C-alpha cells in the first residue's frame, strides 16, 4: 500500500485548511454581526437581516469549498497519474482496483481531517483577532461574543466530506491502471468515460443557455420596469455560471489555445502551448477554480461601477435622492469582492501545486529535451510559458464572464434609473491592473519552484530505462 506522504499531500491539506478557516471565520463573524444587529434593533427586522446574512455567508462558503474540492480532485488525479507503475505493480501481485481506490480515498479522508481541524483553529483565531481590533475601532459595544459556535462545525464537516469525496473522484483513474503497465513503459490510457463527458457537456450547455436567457430577460425587465428583476437575474446567473463551470472541459481548451498563440512562435512557447492542452480535462480543472474566483471579484466590482454610473445618470435628475448611496454600494462591492476573491486564493494554491507535480512527472521528457539540445534557458522559458498560459487564460475568461454577470446584475436591479436604456458595463481600470498584477505574481509563483527543478534535470535522465 502507499504510505501517507505529507509532501505529496501538503497542498491538499493547505487547500482544506484554507476552505475550513474561511468557512469558520465567516460563520463566526456573521454570528457576531447578528448579535450587534439584535442589540441595535429598533425596527424589529433584525431577524430577517440575520437570515439574509447567514444565507450570503453560506453561499460564499459553499463556493470556496466547491473550488477547494475541484482543486483537490485534480491534485489527486495528478498524484495517481504519477503512481501508475506502483499501482500496476500492486495490481500485478493481486490487489483489486477497488481496494486501491479505497486506499487513495482513505488518504483523502486523512487530508480532509487534518486540514479541516487546522482550519477550525485558524478560523477561531482570526475571528477573535477581528473582534478584538474591529469592535473598539468602530466604537461598537463589546458584547458577549461567541469565540466558537456549534454552527462552526458546518464548514469543518463539509470540508472533511468534500475532501474525501474529491479524493475518491480524483482516484477514478486507478480503475483503468492495468497490471501490464508494471511490466513496461506504457502510454497513459484515456479514461473510458466519453459518454459521461458528453452527458455532462449537454447538461452544461443547457444550463448555460437557459440561465443566460433568464438573465437577459431579467436585464430587459430591470431596464424597463422593476428592481425585483434582480431575483430572476440571480437565478439565471447561477444557472448560467454553473453551466460554464460544468463545461470547463469545453470552454477552457480553446481559451488556453488562444493564449498559447499569443505567447509567440519561439520553440519553448509553442511547446508550452501544446503541453497545456495535452490533458484538456486536467488543464480545465486546474484553471476552473481561478476562473470562478476572478469571475466573482470582477462581477462585484463591475456591478458596483455600473450601478454607480446608473446612479449618476439618475442623480442628474434628482440630486437629493441618492445621498450616501455611493459609499454603501462601494462598501458592499469591496467586501463581497474580497470574500469572493478568496476562492481565487484556493485555486491559486491548486495551480501552483499542479505545475510542480506536472514537472516532477515529466522528468524523462525534460531530460530528452535537454539531451536533444534544449538549453537551460529554454527549459525555464517552457515552464514559465506553461504557467503563464494557465493563469492568463483563466483570468481572461474570468474577466469576461464577471463583466457580463456584473453588468447584468446592475442592470436588472437598477436599470430603470437610466430611464429606459441600458448602459455599457463599467470596468474600472484599477480592477484590470490589480488582476493583471495578481496574474503576473501567480505565474511567477507557479513557475519558480518547478522551473528550478526542471532546469536541474540532467540530460542523462532521458536515457534511464525506468
- Smaller CB separation from another protein, 8 or 386: 386
Report the C-alpha gap between 80 and 85 in whole angstroms: 10
Give least dist CB 365 to another protein, A: 7
Indicate whether 141 belongs to the interface with another protein (CB under 8 A). no
81-85, Cβ contacts within 8 angstroms, sequence gap of 24 or more: 81/173, 81/188, 81/361, 82/357, 82/360, 82/361, 83/2, 84/177, 84/181, 84/188, 85/181, 85/182
CB of 277 to another protein, least distance (A): 9
Question: In this chain, which of 165, 360, 444, 462 binds another protein, going by CB under 8 A?
Answer: 462
Write down the least CB distance from residue 284 to another protein, Å.
Answer: 17
CA distance 329 to 352: 34
Give whichever of 376 and 437 is closer to another protein, judged by the CB atom: 376
Identified binder of another protein from the candidate list 43, 195, 318, 465, rule CB under 8 A: 465
First-to-last C-alpha distance (Å) of the chain: 20
Restricted to residues 346-375, the positions that interact with another protein (CB under 8 A) are: 364-365, 368-375
Q: Please say whether the beta carbons of 76 and 174 come within 8 A.
A: no
Is 274 near another protein (CB under 8 A)?
Answer: yes
Measured from the CB atom, the residue of 320 and 466 that comes closer to another protein is: 466
- Please give the Cα distance from 288 to 152 (Å, whole number): 27
* Inter-residue contact 404 to 425 (CB < 8 Å): yes
Least distance from C-beta 180 to another protein, angstroms?
A: 14
Q: Cα(237)–Cα(212) distance, rounded to whole angstroms?
A: 7
Q: Does position 154 bind another protein by CB under 8 A?
A: no
- Residues 278-297 touching another protein, rule: CB under 8 A, are 278
Tell me how far, at minimum, the Cβ of 466 lies from another protein, in Å.
Answer: 10
185-204: which residues touch another protein (CB under 8 A)? 185, 187
Q: How many CB atoms lie within 10 A of CB 438?
A: 20
CA atoms of 21 and 159, how far apart (whole Å): 10
The residue among 145 and 279 lying less far from another protein, judged by its C-beta, is 279
DSSP label at 142?
A: -
Q: Cα 66–283–269 angle (5° rounding)?
A: 145
Q: Which stretch binds another protein (CB under 8 A): 4-12, 273-281, 298-306, 309-317?
A: 273-281
User: What is the rounded CA–CA span in Å between residue 358 and residue 272?
Assistant: 12
Q: How far apart are CA 317 and CA 85, in angstroms?
A: 72
Q: What CA–CA distance (Å, rounded) separates 82 from 423?
A: 51
- Residue 138, classed as helix, strand or coil, is coil
CB 293 within 8 A of CB 344: yes
Cβ-based nearer residue to another protein, 142 or 372: 372
Residue 183 interacting with another protein (CB under 8 A):
no
Rounded to a whole number of angstroms, the minimum distance from the CB of residue 358 to another protein is 13
Give yes or no for residue 271 binding another protein (CB under 8 A): yes
Question: How many angstroms separate the most distant Cα atoms in the chain?
Answer: 81
Q: Which stretch binds another protein (CB under 8 A): 6-14, 44-52, 320-328, 452-460?
A: 452-460
Tell which one of 143, 197, 266, 419 touches another protein (CB under 8 A). 266
Euclidean distance between CA atoms 364 and 184, whole angstroms: 15
Nearer to another protein, 106 or 364 (CB): 364
Cell numbers standing for residue 95 = 490487489
Q: Which stretch binds another protein (CB under 8 A): 2-10, 168-176, 294-302, 458-466?
A: 458-466
Of 125, 217, 280, 459, the one binding another protein (CB under 8 A) is 459
From the list 21, 75, 84, 275, which residue makes contact with another protein (rule: CB under 8 A)? 275
The backbone torsions φ and ψ at residue 162, rounded to the nearest 5 degrees and listed phi first, read: -70, -35
Give the nearest distance from C-beta 285 to another protein in angstroms: 19
How many of the chain's residues bind another protein (CB under 8 A)?
27
Query: Between residues 272 and 349, which has the closer beta carbon with respect to another protein?
Result: 272
In the complex with another protein, the residue whose CB is nearer, 40 or 375, is 375
Whole-number minimum distance, CB 428 to another protein, in Å?
39
Return the number of the residue (187 or 320) whose C-beta is nearest another protein: 187
Report how far apart, in Å, the C-alpha atoms of 347 and of each of 18, 64, 123, 340, 423 are.
11, 9, 19, 12, 33
Q: Judged by CB under 8 A, which stretch of 211-219, 225-233, 252-260, 455-463 contacts another protein?
A: 455-463
List of residues contacting another protein (CB under 8 A): 184-185, 187, 266-267, 271, 274-275, 278, 364-365, 368-376, 378, 458-460, 462-463, 465
Amino acid at each position: 500500500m502507499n504510505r501517507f506522504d505529507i509532501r505529496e499531500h501538503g497542498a491538499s491539506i493547505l487547500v482544506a485548511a484554507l476552505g475550513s478557516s474561511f468557512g469558520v471565520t465567516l460563520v463566526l463573524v456573521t454570528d457576531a454581526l447578528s448579535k450587534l444587529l439584535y442589540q441595535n434593533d429598533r425596527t424589529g427586522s433584525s431577524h430577517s437581516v440575520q437570515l439574509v446574512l447567514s444565507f450570503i455567508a453560506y453561499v460564499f462558503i459553499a463556493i470556496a469549498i466547491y473550488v477547494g474540492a475541484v482543486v483537490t480532485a485534480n491534485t489527486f488525479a495528478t498524484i495517481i497519474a504519477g503512481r501508475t507503475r506502483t499501482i500496476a505493480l500492486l495490481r500485478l501481485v493481486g490487489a483489486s482496483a477497488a481496494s486501491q481506490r479505497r486506499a487513495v480515498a482513505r488518504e483523502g479522508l486523512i487530508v480532509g481531517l487534518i486540514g479541516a481541524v487546522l482550519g477550525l483553529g485558524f478560523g477561531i483565531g482570526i475571528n477573535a483577532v477581528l473582534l478584538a481590533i474591529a469592535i473598539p475601532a468602530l466604537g461598537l459595544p463589546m458584547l458577549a461574543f461567541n469565540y466558537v459556535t456549534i454552527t462552526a462545525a458546518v464548514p469543518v464537516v463539509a470540508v472533511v466530506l468534500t475532501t474525501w469525496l474529491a479524493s475518491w473522484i480524483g482516484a477514478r483513474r486507478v480503475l483503468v491502471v492495468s497490471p501490464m503497465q508494471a511490466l513496461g513503459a506504457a502510454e497513459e490510457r484515456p479514461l473510458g468515460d466519453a459518454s459521461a463527458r458528453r452527458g455532462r457537456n449537454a447538461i452544461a450547455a443547457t444550463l448555460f443557455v437557459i440561465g443566460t436567457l433568464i438573465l437577459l430577460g431579467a436585464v430587459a425587465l430591470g431596464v424597463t420596469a422593476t428592481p425585483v428583476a434582480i431575483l430572476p437575474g440571480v437565478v439565471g446567473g447561477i444557472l448560467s455560471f454553473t453551466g460554464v463551470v460544468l463545461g470547463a472541459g469545453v470552454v477552457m481548451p480553446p481559451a488556453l489555445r488562444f493564449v498559447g498563440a499569443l505567447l509567440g512562435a519561439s520553440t519553448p512557447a509553442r511547446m508550452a502551448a501544446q503541453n497545456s492542452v495535452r490533458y484538456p480535462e486536467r488543464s480545465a480543472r486546474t484553471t476552473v477554480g481561478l476562473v470562478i474566483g476572478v469571475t466573482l471579484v470582477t462581477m462585484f466590482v463591475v456591478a458596483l461601477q455600473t450601478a454607480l454610473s446608473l446612479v449618476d445618470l439618475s442623480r442628474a435628475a434628482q440630486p437629493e435622492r441618492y445621498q450616501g448611496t455611493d459609499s454603501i454600494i462601494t462598501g458592499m462591492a469591496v467586501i463581497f469582492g474580497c470574500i469572493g476573491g478568496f476562492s481565487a486564493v484556493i485555486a491559486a494554491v491548486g495551480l501552483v501545486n499542479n505545475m510542480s507535480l506536472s514537472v516532477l512527472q515529466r522528468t524523462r521528457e525534460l531530460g530528452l529535451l535537454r539531451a536533444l539540445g534544449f538549453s537551460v534557458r529554454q527549459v525555464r522559458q517552457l515552464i514559465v510559458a506553461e504557467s503563464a498560459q494557465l493563469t492568463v487564460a483563466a483570468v481572461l475568461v474570468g474577466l469576461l464572464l464577471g463583466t457580463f454577470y456584473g453588468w447584468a446584475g446592475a442592470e436588472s436591479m437598477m436599470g430603470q434609473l437610466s430611464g429606459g436604456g441600458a448602459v455599457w458595463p463599467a470596468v474600472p481600470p484599477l480592477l484590470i491592473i490589480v488582476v493583471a498584477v495578481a496574474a503576473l505574481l501567480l505565474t511567477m509563483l507557479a513557475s519558480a519552484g518547478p522551473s528550478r527543478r526542471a532546469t536541474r534535470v540532467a540530460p542523462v535522465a532521458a536515457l534511464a530505462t525506468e
